[in-house]
Amino acid sequence: MIEARLSSVQRRTVARAGLDDIADKVVSEQRLSYEDGIRLFASPDLAAIGALANLVRERLHGDLTYFNRNIHINATNVCEASCIFCSFARLEEGMPAAYTMSIDEAVGRIAALQDAFITEVHIVNGLHPGLPFSYYTDLLRAIKAARPDLHIKGFTAVEMHYYAQKYGMTYAQVIEALREAGLESMPGGGAEIFHERARRKLCHDKVDAEGWLEVHRTAHRLGMRTNCTMLFGSIEKNEERVDHLVRLRELQDESLAARATDPSKGWFQTFIPLKFHNENNRLARLSAPTGHDALRTIAISRLMLDNIPHIKSYWIMLGQDIAQLSLSYGASDLDGTVREERIYHMAGAQTPQELTRNQLIHLIRAAGRIPVERDTHYNVVAEA
Ligand code: SF4
């Protein structure tokens, strides 16, 4: 069976890595188990794992590789949580580098683009203890008034949970109120690592794994599409990475089952492995994840998450070179042009603040893939 889908060189590589049985499952489209995931992470054979992930990627998408044109707005970095990997947050207003944009200021950044062609605003913020809930709904309404053509993807499950607690609302009430003000989809941030051991060390005072998953479950039930993430390369163990992927896969199973009977339901569109950065935070003593680990994690994510359509290589965090290479290791999306990214640049990311459409197209074409400009819901805007 392997012979039918892998080249002879790849077959030898897989055999040498002792992954024949996993390759059989991948080729015959069987689901990989938790134990398979552990074995893949234990294997140093990136070529073998990459060949299997690429097989899945090409089965799903051929050479098509997606990107969009977007802008990021981080309206405030004041945050009362204390995640030890975070370089972006400041505990209180008035601290060095703390900021909160006025609504006019935030909208002004979008208005300044004038007629520049973008399709999406991505909004993620700190957990500001002093802002009313109306700040967020006003922000959404003002953006929609300025640029009704833009899709607004915003507010992580961490933020949604915080608002629910702070303002005495259910998750559904928070999501509905934000949606009524203009929100159309949710990013996948804040998942970090679900496993209790790692999560307690990394981010003990924000939403736990069950809460994060329940916010997304609620969003899917309400018909909203969302993304999901995993922070990798800090203190987590391989078992905790696999546990994280399996929990996401289980929620996606639930959401897709609901969607099978009611097509208005939402689901996870994309999984984004987020590489830990080790500057300006309390984990600066740790080494940054290597390119090998990044590619391996992307590839294993593609293999384990058999029910999530896309694996996204977020070039801001990975760097352009690894993001481009990842297109042969399972990734089918490069994120977007971005403009004004703050969260990872404050953590030491050396990437530019923006890539142009032509630069993204060049990265994709040079990797032998076909660039496709998409909107947030993966509708094709243009084949480049
Ligand atoms: S990761 Fe998010 S929740 Fe945690 S401290 Fe940073 S901004 Fe706050």
| Between 337 and 179, the higher pLDDT residue | 179
Q: What is the mean pLDDT of residues 337-363?
A: 75
Measured distance CA(222)–CA(265) in Å, rounded: 6
| Between 189 and 116, the higher pLDDT residue | 189
- Integer CA distances (angstroms), 325 to 93, 102, 124, 303, in order: 41, 40, 28, 17
Mutate to test the pocket of ligand 1, among 124, 158, 215 (most ligand atoms within 8 A of CB): 158
pLDDT for residue 380 is more than 60:
yes
pLDDT in the model for residue 280: 81
126 lines ligand 1 (CB under 6 A): yes
Average pLDDT, the chain: 93
Mutate to test the pocket of ligand 1, among 88, 192, 229, 344 (most ligand atoms within 8 A of CB): 88
Residue at token pair 């909107």: 375
Mutate to test the pocket of ligand 1, among 78, 79, 212, 317 (most ligand atoms within 8 A of CB): 79
**Structure confidence by residue, pLDDT tens digits, 103-159:** 999 999 988 887 678 999 999 999 999 999 999 999 999 999 999 999 999 999 999
Which neighbouring-strand residues pair with 326? none
Atom of ligand 1 nearest to the CA of 125: 7
pLDDT for residue 222 is more than 50:
yes
Burial of 209 (0-12, 13-18, 19+ CB in 10 A): middle
**Which of 217, 239, 236 lies closest to 228, judged by CA?**
217
Q: How many of the other CB atoms lie within 10 Å of CB of 45?
A: 16
Q: What is the mean pLDDT of residues 79-95?
A: 93
Measured distance CA(110)–CA(128) in Å, rounded: 22
pLDDT band at residue 3, thresholds of 50, 70 and 90?
A: very low
Q: Residues 6 or more apart from 298 whose CB is under 8 A from it?
A: 53, 273, 311, 313, 326, 329, 330, 331
212 lines ligand 1 (CB under 6 A): no
pLDDT for residue 23 is more than 80:
yes
pLDDT for residue 17 is more than 60:
yes
pLDDT band at residue 249, thresholds of 50, 70 and 90?
A: very high
pLDDT band at residue 73, thresholds of 50, 70 and 90?
A: very high
Q: HEC string of the chain?
A: CHHHHCCHHHHHHHHHCCCHHHHHHHHCCCCCCHHHHHHHHHCCCHHHHHHHHHHHHHHHHCCEEEEECEEEECCECECCCCCCCCCCCECCCCCCCCCECCHHHHHHHHHCCCCCCCCEEEECCCCCCCCCHHHHHHHHHHHHHHCCCCEEEECCHHHHHHHHHHHCCCHHHHHHHHHHHCCCEECCCCCCCCCHHHHHHHHCCCCCHHHHHHHHHHHHHCCCCEEEEEEECCCCCHHHHHHHHHHHHHHHHHHHHHHHHCCCCCCEEEEEEEECCCCCCCCCCCCCCCHHHHHHHHHHHHHHCCCCCEEECCHHHHCHHHHHHHHHCCCCEEEECCCCCCCCCCCCCCCCCCCCHHHHHHHHHHCCCEEEEECCCCCEEEEC
Atom of ligand 1 nearest to the CA of 85: 1
pLDDT for residue 1 is more than 50:
no
pLDDT band at residue 91, thresholds of 50, 70 and 90?
A: very high
pLDDT for residue 4 is more than 60:
no
* Chain-centre distance for alpha carbon 183: 18
pLDDT band at residue 336, thresholds of 50, 70 and 90?
A: confident
Whose Cα sits closest to atom 1 in ligand 1? 86
248 lines ligand 1 (CB under 6 A): no
88 lines ligand 1 (CB under 6 A): yes
Atom of ligand 1 nearest to the CA of 126: 7
206 lines ligand 1 (CB under 6 A): yes
Q: For 328-338, b where at least 16 C-beta lie within 10 A, e where not — what string?
A: bbbbbbbbbbb
Atom of ligand 1 nearest to the CA of 203: 4
pLDDT in the model for residue 344: 59
Measured distance CA(352)–CA(178) in Å, rounded: 31
Q: HEC string of 7-70?
A: CHHHHHHHHHCCCHHHHHHHHCCCCCCHHHHHHHHHCCCHHHHHHHHHHHHHHHHCCEEEEECE
Q: What angle do CA 91, 180, 121 make, to 5 degrees?
A: 60
Q: How far is the CA of 200 from the centre of ligand 1 (A)?
A: 14
Q: What angle do CA 64, 73, 350 make, to 5 degrees?
A: 65
Q: How far is the CA of 126 from the centre of ligand 1 (A)?
A: 6
pLDDT for residue 15 is more than 50:
yes
Whose Cα sits closest to atom 4 in ligand 1? 83
pLDDT for residue 21 is more than 60:
yes
347 lines ligand 1 (CB under 6 A): no
Atom of ligand 1 nearest to the CA of 192: 1
17 lines ligand 1 (CB under 6 A): no
pLDDT band at residue 341, thresholds of 50, 70 and 90?
A: low
Q: Tell me the two tokens of residue 148.
A: 């009704």
Measured distance CA(217)–CA(223) in Å, rounded: 10
pLDDT in the model for residue 2: 45
